[in-house]
Amino acid sequence: MTTLDVTNQFPIAEIAKTRGAIYMLDVAADYGLVNCFFEWRNNGLVENALYEFVMALVQSCEDQTHRFVTEAQLMDMASLSRASVLRRCASLIELNAMEKFLVKIPGTRSRTCYKLRSQQDFEAPKAHAMVTAHPLSLPVPSEAVTSQNHELDLYSLNRLTPESLWDHTKTPFIKGELLAVYTLVAALPMGTKYSKYHDQPYEVPIKLGNDYLILKVRPTADTRNPTVSDIKPLMALITIIIKRLNHSDDNPTYFDINMDDIVKVLHRGDKAAIAKKGGSYKAKVLESINRWESTGFKISGISNGVANKFHGVIELAEFFRLITKLRVLNFVGSKGKTPEMIRVYLDADFQERLRNKNFLVSTHYEVLDSDEMGMMFNFWCRRAVKRNHQVCSFTWEQFHSQMSPLRPFGQFNRAFKEFFEKHLLPDGIAKFLGYYFHYEPLKNEQGRLVKGKGMLHCWADENDRLLGSQSFYSQQQKLNDKKQKEHVRIPEFLQD
């Protein structure tokens, strides 16, 4: 580490009165640096926590006469522990946005100094995901493992039609809408543990590769925000409603749905499992649906990439609700408390997207049997990896910020480690619902593991029934490509 003599740069008497490390700004560093990190955060290039730390550091240093603060002052200003401060400094050093050195002061011990560079001295971070070939160090699944995909016994791939995809009794797929299910899920808390997100409004950036979408969530009085688990009843509703819209040219203002149909979708028509679910289970499902009716969402910021991805249908507007109105038409049971038939009114834009195949995404039915971590990971794969059969690599910080930004970094690490070990295969990689993934930890120069650092490699199984090259989607794409080639007009000067 470099040692500098800063006798002429800072008053010795002032530094001698302090303890701990010193944090300061470069001569040219100012609030323009904060604006840079703000743009990088919105573009998904840096974490929100890193942006907030830079803002706190610049603000605290600008308030001081000599543009430096002690460790205790910075910890108080940023409301962070010493370990959290050092982790953020390490990330800034990795970005070349900060330098670390020893300050030599006559008559006192040398002090560690962290100096934040000016925005002209370093480049913007690179994009999140890098699509590469299989790295040589990455284990490749054996044929025995790859062939473990379940086969469609009664309904071969060439018999899968768009109509049959909605039918949960004929196919192991369930439908979800691109915005309501696969994107908004990143803004939902996992479980009921994080109470600060349950009954209070909050704002969270949802990162989609290099693009972003900033979402505000606001519950109504006496209700709590939906969690990841509440996605399951919403997907069941979407699957049922899409099937009805697909067989009708009408645009109904509401949908009357039997609660038994929702239970059948949630349990894949398993009569034994459905028989065990009584009236209390239906009431619980109704409560989950009611949370979607009582929670408002507002898109307060969006990148051009996301706007183009959604074909311009997303606008920065007022709060909207996916379910605008929910009525229980009748109750049954000995106590008259079991809901039997409900009437659902959907948001007009949401209902219009359910008619557009560009916004509909199929996923494996087994996702309804998984826990919240499995659901979040599967939906993240559908957003980030999609049907890519080549390896997509993400840094661990990028993976966390894209998949579950609300969950604290340490808790996310522990939960995903358990999830990874649960689905680990003999080849040293893990597999979950058509996606292989492998964690590559980062090691320092001494060969020791760096906590919370590493790379996640993920790719879709080429032989998967939904994501593979022989899936209905892939076959349709090949058919469309063939039709386009057949309809290419030959210029007149090339014709005989």
Whether residue 394 is found in the same domain as residue 254: no
Q: Does the residue 477 lie in any domain?
A: no
- Long-range pairs for 418-427: beta carbons < 8 A, 24 or more residues apart: 419/373, 419/374, 419/377, 425/141, 425/145, 426/145, 427/139, 427/140, 427/141, 427/142, 427/145
Domain termination site, one of 96, 121, 146: 121
User: Is residue 479 a part of any domain in this protein?
Assistant: no
Look up the domain containing 450 and give its range. Answer: 127-159+371-471
Same domain, 98 and 84: yes
Residues 319 and 192 in one domain: yes
Q: Which of 119, 117, 120, 82 is nearest to 99 (CA)?
A: 117
Residue 257: what pLDDT? 92
CB contact at 8 A, 459 and 465:
no
Non-local CB neighbours of 410 within 8 Å, separated by 6+ positions = 452
Q: For 251-255, 377-381, 401-405, 449-453, which range has the lowest pLDDT when averaged over its residues?
A: 449-453
35 within domain boundaries: yes
Instruction: For residues 37 and 332, give the distance between their C-alpha atoms in angstroms, rounded to a whole number.
Output: 57
Residue 22: closest CA among 104, 97, 114, 89: 114
CATH number at residue 8: 1.10.10
Of the candidate ranges 134-138, 200-204, 363-367, 393-397, the one whose mean pLDDT is the lowest: 134-138
**According to the model, what pLDDT value does residue 134 have?**
41
Residue 330 lies in a domain: yes
Q: Same structural domain for residues 365 and 379?
A: no
Q: Is residue 493 part of a domain?
A: no
- Give the model's pLDDT for residue 407: 85
- Domain for residue 488, yes or no? no
Q: Per-residue confidence at 465, pLDDT binned at 50, 70, 90?
A: confident
pLDDT, average across residues 110-131: 71
pLDDT > 70? residue 486:
no
Same domain, 365 and 375: no
> Residue 203's pLDDT is what?
87
| CB-count burial class (<10 Å; 0-12, 13-18, 19+) for 421 | exposed
320 or 336, which is more confident? 320
- Provide mean pLDDT across the span 222-237: 88
**Highest-confidence range of 49-58, 191-200, 336-345, 463-472, by mean pLDDT?**
336-345
Q: Tell me: pLDDT of 82 over 80.
A: yes
| Residues 347 and 287 grouped into a single domain | yes
User: Which of 64-73, 104-113, 149-158 is most confident?
Assistant: 64-73
Distance CA 408, CA 87 (A): 14
Considering only residues 290 and 146, tell me which one the structure prediction assigns the higher pLDDT: 290
DSSP states of 211-225: EEEEEEEEE-TT---
Mean per-residue pLDDT, 315-339 = 84
Angle between helices 31-42 and 48-62 (to 10 degrees): 170
Q: Which of 339, 369, 399 is the last residue of a domain?
A: 369
Do 113 and 215 belong to one domain?
Answer: no
Question: Does residue 496 lie in a domain region?
Answer: no
Strands of 142-264, DSSP E: 173-177, 202-208, 211-219, 255-258
pLDDT in tens, 178-228: 888 888 888 888 876 556 777 788 888 888 777 788 888 888 767 788 888
Segment of 29-33, 219-223, 423-427 carrying the highest mean pLDDT = 423-427
pLDDT digits (tens, 9 = 90+) for 270-312: 666 776 777 788 889 999 999 999 998 988 888 887 777 776 6
**Residues 417 and 464 both lie in one domain:** yes
Residue after which a domain boundary falls, among 369, 393, 408:
369
Residues 256 and 144 in one domain: no
pTM over 0.85: no
Residue 434 has pLDDT above 50, yes or no: yes
Distance CA 444, CA 316 (A): 45
Separation CA 428–CA 426 (nearest Å): 5
Say if 494 falls within a structural domain. no
358-392 tens-digit pLDDT: 788 888 888 888 899 999 999 999 888 988 888 88
Q: How many domains does the chain have?
A: 3
Same domain, 311 and 410: no
Most confident of 96-105, 137-146, 250-259: 250-259
Mark whether 343 and 203 lie in a shared domain: yes
Q: Using only the alpha carbons of the chain, give its radius of gyration.
A: 27
pLDDT of residue 138: 54
Same domain for 17 and 66? Answer: yes
Cα 445 from chain centre: 32
